[in-house]
Each structure stands twice: as structure tokens, then as C-alpha cells.
Amino acid sequence: MGWGKYLLLGDFGQQLDLEDQKEEIRSLRKRISLNNATNSSVTQRLERLEKENDELKLYLSSLVVLLKNTGAITKDQLENVVEMVDGYDGKIDGKHKGGINT
């Protein structure tokens, strides 16, 4: 509608178009800023979860090595226990949902 405003209102119409464009640019900048803040928050959370996951794998691997090296458990026994615990949540799928059952 820029041409219509210009033809009917001249420079004043052009100024109205410019103000409309400035408002649209402000709105887009605000949306980009909000998206960047959200992305930053998600990125920080993901980095924290990756660090926690790495630490958990380190401790789990250390415990498995300790148990095997002390003879407290064999590889077959460990695999059987893993399968048993995997089934605690109703299906054997390589995941465990829920707490630690003893």
C-alpha cells in the first residue's frame, strides 16, 4: 500500500510507510532477541546435561571395572542384571525410566 499512500498523501504518506517499516523492524528485532535468549538458555542446559552425562558414564565405568577386577561380578552376571533392571519399567529397550530399585 506504499504507492497508494504516496499518491494520495505525498511525502506524508511516505513518512507513514517509513514509520510502519520502523515498527516492523523493532518488532522483528525484539523477536530475534527473545529467540536468542531462549536459545542461549537451552544451549546452557544442554551443555550442563552433557557434562552430567559424561560424569555419570565415568563413575559407572569405574564401578564396573572395580566390580570386575575384584571378582565381585562377572561380565555375564553384569549383563543379566542390566537386562533385569532394564525390564523394571515394563519393557526391555536399553533405557530405564524411573528411580533406582533395590
Q: Domain spans of the chain?
A: 2-89
- What digits encode the pLDDT tens for the residues 54-72? 999 999 999 999 999 999 9
What letter represents residue 32's amino acid? I
Alpha-helical segments (H) within the chain:
2-9, 11-69, 75-86
Ranges under pLDDT 70 in the chain:
1-14, 101-102
pLDDT at residue 38 in the model: 83
How far CA 68 is from CA of 12, 36, 96, in Å, comes to: 83, 47, 23
Cell 530475534, located at residue = 32
pTM here is: 0.56
Half-sphere exposure at residue 18, Cβ-oriented, CA atoms within 13 angstroms: 7
Residues contacting residue 43 through CB under 8 Å, at least 6 positions apart? none
The grid coordinates listed for 73 are: 561380578
CA distance 69 to 91: 31
Are the beta carbons of 5 and 16 closer than 8 angstroms? yes
